[in-house]
Structure 1
Amino acid sequence: MVAYKSKMVERIRLPSREQRERNLEAAGYNLFNLSSEEVFVDLLTDSGTGAMSDAQWAALIRGDESYAGSRSFEELEEAVADVMGFSNVVPTHQGRGAENVLYGALLSAGDVVPNNTHFDTTRAHISNQDADPVDCPIDVAHDPDAEEPFKGNFSLERARAVVEEHGAERIPVVVQTITNNSAAGQAVSVENTRKVREFADEIDATFVIDACRFAENAYFVSQREEEFADASIADIAREQLGYADALVMSGKKDGLVNAGGFVATDDDALFEQCKQRAILYEGFPTYGGMAGRDVAAMAVGLREAVEDAYLEDRIEQVREFGAQLAAVGVPVYTPTSGHAVYVDAGELFPHLDAEEFPGQVLACELYREGGVRGVELGSFAFPDTDRPELVRLAVPRRTYHREHFDHVVETAEAVLEKRETVSGLQLASDPVMPEIRHFTAELEPVPSSQ
C-alpha cells in the first residue's frame, strides 16, 4: 500500500549516452565526482537524500534559531527520550560529527574496537584516534545467498578472540551497528544485542549502538524474531536501544532529515565529555552545527520513523526493487535490506579480479548505460578487508516511484547482457587515508594489454 501522495516535484533529465561517457571520464570513474544534474536516478546513498513530510516542513518554519537554549533543541530532547529512551542529547551537524564527538571522548591511542562491521567513516574516526577497528561479523554475513534472518549480527566468538589477542584492558568500547550497513544492510536481532551488552559488561567496556537505521532494524525484528511478533515497532526500538550505554546517530537516515545527527547517553560523565568536544568541533550543545529548523525537523522525523505505515511502505519498496532486479538475472544479496539493494559484482563480472575493482566497474556501467548512480562497497571502498564485491543501490526515503525503479532494472539488464565485454579499472590517484579513499580517489580503465 502506498502511504504518501506528492505535494512537490522536481524535474530530472537523462543526459545523452555521449555526455555520460564524457562525464565518467571527467569524474575519474568515481561517481562521487559527478554533478547531481548529470545523474538521472540517484541511488548513491539514502543519507539525507529523502523527502520530508508536511509535518517536518511545518517544523522547519517554526524552528527556533536561538544560539543557546533553543526550543527546537527541547523538542529534539523530548523526541529522543520518547522514541529512543535516552535523556542526554548532544546534537551534531551529521553522523560523522557525532562519531568524532563520541569516539574522541572514548578512545586513546592503542585501543581496539570490535564492531559487527565498521562502516567507512566509523572505521576512519576510530583510526583517527590511533585505535584499531576490528570487524566481528557472523560467518554468513558476507554470503549473498545464505538464508539467515539476522545476517547483521555481532559475532561474540570473534569478539572473544579479539579479547584473547589484545586483552580486555585495550578494549574500552564495543560497537554494534544496526542495521549492519557494511554487511549489506542486514538486520540485527534483539537477542544478539542483549548478548553484546553482556559481553561489554564482562570486559568492562562501553557499549555503543550506531543507530542510524534503528527503525528499519526494529521492523525486521517484528517480522523475524518470534519474541517480538506482537510488539509495536516503537516498543522494539526502545527495547533494543536500551541495552546501549550510548548511541551515535545520523539523523539523515532514520531521522528522515537532510542534515543532522547526535550522540545520546544516560551516562552523565560521558555526556559532559561529549558536550565539551561538541563545543570545540560542532557548536553550542543546543544546536550542534545545525540550524534550529533542522533540529526541529529531526525531532518530528524520529517520531515518524517508527510509524508502522511509513516503515511498511519503505521496506516493501526496497524489497520489490530487489525482486525486480533478481527477476532479470541480476545477482542480488538476500535478504534485501531496509534501505538498499546490494548487487554482487563479483558474481556478475567473474572475469575481473578484485584488483580490477569489479564493484566500481559495475557502478560505472550502470551510469554509462542509464544515468544511474550507485556506490561500490567492495575492495575499492574497503581495501585490505575480506568482503564481497558489492554495489549498493540505496533508496532515498519517500522520493522515487515505480517508474524510476523500472528504469534502473532495465539499465541493469542492459549491463548484464554485455558483461563479458566489460574491462576493469585501476587507481589513477590514491588519497592518504585508505579508509575513505573511495570518496575522492580517481581511476582509469585498465589498458587492454594487461
Structure 2
Amino acid sequence: MRNYKAKVVEPVRLPDADERRAALEAAGYNVFGLDAEDVYVDLLTDSGTGAMSHDQWAALHRGDESYAGSRSFERFRDAVEAVMGFERVVPTHQGRGAENVLFGALLDDGDVVPNNTHFDTTRAHVANQGAEPADCPLSVGLDPDADHPFKGNMNLDRLRSVVDEAGAENVPVILLTITNNSMAGQPVSVENTRRVAAFADEIDATFVIDACRFAENAAFVGAREDEFADAEIADIAREQLSYADAVTMSGKKDALTNVGGFVACRDEGLFERCKERAILYEGFPTYGGLAGRDLEAMAVGLREAVQRRYVTDRLEGVAELGRRLVAAGVPVYQPFGGHAVYVDAGRFLPQIDDEAFPGQALVCECYLEGAVRGVELGSFAFPGTDRPELVRLALPRRTYGLEHLEHVADTVAAVYDRREAVPGMELTSEPATPELRHFSASLSPRGPLGAAD
C-alpha cells in the first residue's frame, strides 16, 4: 500500500502511434534522443527523476547561497555524517562529478581498478584516468534465473586473480557498487563487503563504495542476511558503509533529489586532494556546483531514504511491476532488483544475435507499443563485456502509481506476444568513447518495427 499522497501533479499524454514512430526515427532509434513530451511512462533511469517530499520542498526555502561556508552545507554535512558515518564530505553536481573528483585524486596511467561490476560512467571515468576497469561479478549473477540472495556480490576469487595478474602495486583502488546496477540491481551482503574491505587492507588499496543506492541495499540486507534480521535500515546502512575508506554518491538516487552528489572519505590527505579537484571541476568545496537549496534538499532526502516505511514502499513498487511481467510470461531477471526490473532480452528475442542488439530492439518496440521508455544494458551499452542482454525498467522514486505499472506491463506483454516478428538493429554512427556509446549512438532496424500496428 502506498504510504504517501500527491500534492502536485504533472499532466502527461500518450502520443499516438504515428507520433511515436516519427519521434523514434528522428532520435536515430536511440531513446536517449527522445523528447520527454514524447514519452508516456519514463523508465529510462531512476536518477534524478523522482518526486521530492514536502519536507524537502520546505527545506529549499532556507537555502543559504553563500559561496563559502554556508549554513546549508553545514546541514548537509551533518546529514552525511549522521546517516552514512563520514565526517569529511565534498559536494558535487552529481555522481559522475564525484567519480571525476575521487578517481582523479587516486588513479594514474596503468592502474587496474576491480569492481563487482562497473556501470557506464564509472567505467568511463576509470578509463579517462588511464586506468583499466576490471569486473569481478559472481558467476551466479550472470544467470537471470538463479536463486541467490546476493547476486550483486564481489567475486573474491576473481578479485584475487585480477590483483595477482596486475600486481598489487598497480591496484590502488577497489570499488564495490551497492546495489550492483549492471548486475540487474542486485544487492551486496555486509559479509561480502567486510571481506572485500579486508582484502583491500591486505594489499594497501583504498576501498571505495559507490553508495548511490545504499538504502535500497540495506533493506535487502535486512530481509536476507540473518545477522541483520531485526536491525533498522539506518543501522544496517551505517554498518555496511563503515568498512569503506571513501564513497561516491549520486544524490539523485537514494538521497531522493533531482540533482547533486558527493565524495566522502576518512583520510585527511585524500580529502584535501578531493577538495582541490572539486574547486577545478565542481566549485568551492562547500557548494560543489550546487545551490544551497539543493544541499538542503539532499540533507533531508538522506534522512528520509533510510526510513523503513519509505524504502519498503520503494522495493514493493519495483516488485509489483516484476510480478506483473512474470504473470504475462515475460522473461525477467530474478530476484527483482531494488530500483528496476530487468527484462531478459536474450530470452525475449532469441532470434536476434547479440551483435544485432536484442535489448535495443526491445527498447524500441516498447516505445512504439506504448510510449514506455526503458534502457538497454547489454551488448549495446557495454561493448566488449560479457554481460546478459538486459533491458532495464527503472522506476523513479515516489512518482508513478499502479495505473502506470499496469500500462508498462501491458506494453511489454503486447510486444512479447509478437516477439517473433521483431528485427535486430545495426549501428549507423557511434561516439569515439565506447564506454558512452549508448548515450549518443544512432541505429537503424534490420526490418519493420512495430509489426502489429
Say yes or no: TM over 0.5: yes
Query: 1:13 — aligned with what?
Result: 13
1:162 and 2:165 are equivalent in the alignment = no
Query: 2:107 — aligned with what?
Result: 107
Query: 1:92 — aligned with what?
Result: 92
Query: 2:451 — aligned with what?
Result: none
1:23 and 2:18 are equivalent in the alignment = no
1:340 and 2:335 are equivalent in the alignment = no
Q: Distance in 1 between matches of 2:413 and 2:171?
A: 46
Query: 1:47 — aligned with what?
Result: 47
Q: Distance in 2 between matches of 1:447 and 1:346?
A: 18
Kindly report which structure 2 residues correspond to 1:121-200, keeping only aligned pairs within 5 A, or say none: 121-200=121-200
Q: Distance in 2 between matches of 1:104 and 1:288?
A: 16
Amino acid at match of 1:183: M
Query: 2:416 — aligned with what?
Result: 416
Q: Helix, strand or coil: the match of 2:426?
A: strand
Q: Helix, strand or coil: the match of 1:62?
A: coil
Query: 1:75 — aligned with what?
Result: 75
Query: 2:64 — aligned with what?
Result: 64
Amino acid at match of 1:17: A
1:366 and 2:366 are equivalent in the alignment = yes
Q: Helix, strand or coil: the match of 2:429?
A: coil
Query: 1:206 — aligned with what?
Result: 206
Q: Distance in 2 between matches of 1:410 and 1:194?
A: 42
Q: Distance in 1 between matches of 2:129 and 2:275?
A: 18
Mark the runs of 5 or more structure 1 residues left unpaired by the alignment: none
Q: Distance in 1 between matches of 2:298 and 2:191?
A: 29
Amino acid at match of 1:288: G
Q: Distance in 1 between matches of 2:333 and 2:28?
A: 28
Q: Distance in 2 between matches of 1:273 and 1:418?
A: 55
Amino acid at match of 2:251: G
Q: Helix, strand or coil: the match of 2:244?
A: coil
Q: Deviations over 1:358-408 (max 9, x none)?
A: 000000000000000000000000000000110000000000000001001
Amino acid at match of 1:361: A
Q: Helix, strand or coil: the match of 1:240?
A: helix
Question: What is the root-mean-square deviation of aligned Cα atoms in Å?
Answer: 0.7
Q: Distance in 2 between matches of 1:72 and 1:333?
A: 41
Q: Deviations over 1:302-343 (max 9, x none)?
A: 000000000111011111110001100111100001100000
Amino acid at match of 1:443: L
* Deviation (angstroms), 1:62: 1.0
* Deviation (angstroms), 1:447: 5.7
Q: Distance in 1 between matches of 2:323 and 2:401?
A: 15
* Deviation (angstroms), 1:132: 0.2
Query: 1:257 — aligned with what?
Result: 257
Amino acid at match of 2:381: A
Amino acid at match of 2:337: S
1:119 and 2:119 are equivalent in the alignment = yes
* Deviation (angstroms), 1:430: 1.1
Q: Helix, strand or coil: the match of 2:423?
A: coil
Query: 2:215 — aligned with what?
Result: 215
Query: 1:4 — aligned with what?
Result: 4
Amino acid at match of 2:368: R
Amino acid at match of 2:23: N
Q: Distance in 2 between matches of 1:254 and 1:447?
A: 40
Amino acid at match of 1:156: L
Q: Helix, strand or coil: the match of 1:50?
A: coil
Choose 61-70 or 118-127, whichever is displaced more.
61-70
* Deviation (angstroms), 1:446: 2.0
* Deviation (angstroms), 1:61: 1.1
Q: Distance in 2 between matches of 1:67 and 1:322?
A: 45
* Deviation (angstroms), 1:74: 0.3
Q: Distance in 1 between matches of 2:230 and 2:446?
A: 54
Query: 1:434 — aligned with what?
Result: 434
State, as a whole percentage, how many aligned pairs show the same letter: 69
Q: Distance in 2 between matches of 1:156 and 1:428?
A: 39
Q: Distance in 1 between matches of 2:287 and 2:248?
A: 16
1:284 and 2:278 are equivalent in the alignment = no
1:397 and 2:397 are equivalent in the alignment = yes
Q: Distance in 2 between matches of 1:295 and 1:133?
A: 31
Q: Helix, strand or coil: the match of 2:61?
A: helix
1:312 and 2:349 are equivalent in the alignment = no
Name the count of aligned residue pairs: 448
* Deviation (angstroms), 1:238: 0.3
Amino acid at match of 1:435: E
Amino acid at match of 2:253: K
Mark the runs of 5 or more structure 2 residues left unpaired by the alignment: 449-453
Q: Deviations over 1:80-132 (max 9, x none)?
A: 00000000000000000000000000000000000000000000000000100
Change (3 A) 1:404 1:447: closer
Query: 1:228 — aligned with what?
Result: 228
Q: Distance in 2 between matches of 1:314 and 1:200?
A: 32
* Deviation (angstroms), 1:51: 0.1
Q: Distance in 1 between matches of 2:424 and 2:54?
A: 45
Q: Distance in 2 between matches of 1:77 and 1:136?
A: 33
Hey, which bits of structure 1, 4+ residues long, moved more than 3 A?
Answer: none
* Deviation (angstroms), 1:266: 1.3
Q: Distance in 2 between matches of 1:192 and 1:413?
A: 37
* Deviation (angstroms), 1:2: 1.4
Q: Helix, strand or coil: the match of 2:360?
A: helix
Q: Distance in 2 between matches of 1:320 and 1:288?
A: 37
